[in-house]
Structure 1
Amino acid sequence: MKQLFGKLHLWLGLASGLVVLIVAGTGILLVFEDELDEWANHDFYFVTVPQNAQRLPMDSLVHAAAAFNPALKLTRIYAETQAPDHSVVIMAKKGKMQTWNIAVDPYTGKVIKARNQSKTFFGFVLDLHRRLCMNEVGKAITGASCLIFVLMIITGLVLWWPKRWQVLKQRTRIAWSSNWKRLNWDLHAVGGFYVHLVLLAISLTGLTWAYPWFNNAIYLMADGKPMKKNEAPVNKISQPVEAGFYESLYQQTNNKLPYKGRVTMLFPEKENQSVTVNKMNREASVNNVVDALYFEKGTGRLLKENLFKNYSTGNKIRRMIYPIHTGRLYGWPTQILALIAAIVAFSLPITGLNIYLMGRKKRKARAAKAPEKVVAMQEESAAV
Structure 2
Amino acid sequence: MSRLGRAIKAGLLQVHSIAGLVLALLLALIALTGAIISFEDEIVDHLNAGIMEVAPRTAPALMPDELVARLKATQDVGKVAAVTLSSDPSAAVHVRFARDDQGGRPASLYVDPYDARVLGTPRGEEFFAIVRRLHRWLLIPGDAKGWGRQITGVAAFGLVVMLVSGLVLRWPHRASSVKMWLKPNLGLSGRGLHRSLHAVIGTWVLPIYLVMTLTGLWYSFDWYKDGVVWLLSRPQVAVARMQPKVPRAAAAREPAEAAGFDRAWSTFLHDEGSRFSRALLTLPAGPATVIRIRSWGKDSTRDTVRDEFRIDAVTGQVVSAELYADKTLGEKIIANVFDIHRGAILGWPGKLVFMLAAALMPLFAVTGILLYLSRRKLRRPAQPPLGRLVPGE
Shorter-chain TM-score: which interval? Answer: 0.7 to 0.9
Instruction: Give the distance between the partners of 2:281 and 2:35, measured in 1 at CA.
Output: 30
User: Measured at CA, do residues 134 and 90 of structure 1 come closer, stay the same or move farther in structure 2, by a change above 3 Å?
Assistant: closer
The one-letter code matched in structure 1 to 2:355 is L
Distance change >3 Å, CA 71–CA 230, structure 1 → 2: farther
- Structure 1 residues 169, 95: CA separation in 2 closer, same or farther (over 3 Å shift)? same
Tell me how far apart the structure 1 counterparts of residues 167 and 260 of structure 2 sit (CA, whole Å). 62
Show the counterpart of 2:155.
145
Structure 1 position 191, deviation (Å) = 0.9
1:208-247 paired onto structure 2 within 5 Å? 208-223=218-233, 227-229=241-243, 245=263
Which shows bigger deviation, 105-114 or 32-41?
105-114
SS at 2:184 equivalent? coil
Q: Considering only aligned residues, what root-mean-square deviation do their CA atoms show, in Å?
A: 3.5
Work out the CA distance in 2 between the residues paired with 1:286 and 1:361: 51
User: Are residue 368 (structure 1) and residue 382 (structure 2) matched?
Assistant: yes
CA displacement, residues 294-344 of structure 1 (integer Å, 9 cap, x when unaligned): 333234344442222334666433212111112222321221121122122
Deviation at 1:272, TM superposition (A): 5.1
Q: Pick from 98, 111, 117: which aligns with 2:118?
A: 111
Asked whether the equivalents of residues 215 and 337 of structure 2 are also in contact (C-alpha less than 8 Å), the reply is: yes
Match of 1:248 in 2: 266
| Distance (whole Å) between structure 2 residues aligned to residue 167 and residue 238 of structure 1 | 69
Match of 1:349 among 352, 357, 365: 365
Q: Which moved more, 1:152-161 or 1:138-147?
A: 138-147
Gaps of 5+ in 1: 380-384
C-alpha contact 1:253 1:277 (8 A) present in aligned 2: no
Q: CA–CA distance in 2 between the matches of 1:35 and 1:167?
A: 40
Deviations 1:329-364 (A, max 9, x none): 232122112112212223211221122222223333
Task: Report the CA distance shift for 1:86/1:254 in structure 2 as closer, same or farther (over 3 A).
Answer: farther
| Unmatched 5+ stretches in structure 2 | 1-7
The amino acid that maps onto 1:275 is I
Q: Which amino acid aligns with 2:147?
A: V
Give yes or no for the alignment of 1:265 onto 2:272: no
Q: CA separation in 2, counterparts of 1:221 and 1:51?
A: 50
Structure 1 residue 128 displacement after superposition: 1.0
SS of equivalent to 1:195: helix
Q: What TM-score results when the alignment is normalised by the length of structure 1?
A: 0.81
Cα distance, 1:42 vs structure 2:
3.8
Partner of residue 40, structure 2: 33
Deviations 1:4-26 (A, max 9, x none): 11111100000111100110110
**Alpha-carbon spacing, 1:337–1:297, altered in 2? closer, same or farther (3 Å):** same
CA change 1:342–1:108 in 2 (3 A) is same
Other-structure match for 1:320: 336
Determine if contact 2:150/2:221 at 8 Å carries over to the other structure: no
- Judge conservation of contact 1:88–1:106 (CA < 8 Å) in 2: no
Distance 1:280 1:190 in 2: 41
Task: Give TM-score scaled by structure 2 length.
Answer: 0.80
Report if the CA contact (8 A) 2:307-2:324 is conserved: yes
Give the whole-Å Cα distance in 2 for the aligned partners of 1:143 and 1:243.
37
| Matched position secondary structure for 2:99 | strand
Letter in 1 for 2:325: K
Q: Which amino acid aligns with 1:221?
A: L
User: Which residue of 2 is the match for residue 102 of structure 1?
Assistant: 109
Instruction: Please report how far the alpha carbon of residue 32 of structure 1 lies from its aligned counterpart in structure 2 after TM superposition.
Output: 0.7
| Aligned positions of 1:78-97 closer than 5 A | 78-82=84-88, 84-95=90-101, 97=103
Does structure 2 retain, via aligned residues, the 8 Å contact 1:198–1:338? yes
Matched residue, 1:22: 29
Asked if the contact 1:59/1:245 (under 8 Å) is kept, the reply is no
Asked if the contact 1:104–1:113 (Cα under 8 Å) also holds between the matched residues in 2, the reply is: yes
SS of residue matched to 1:120: helix
* Aligned sequence identity (%): 25
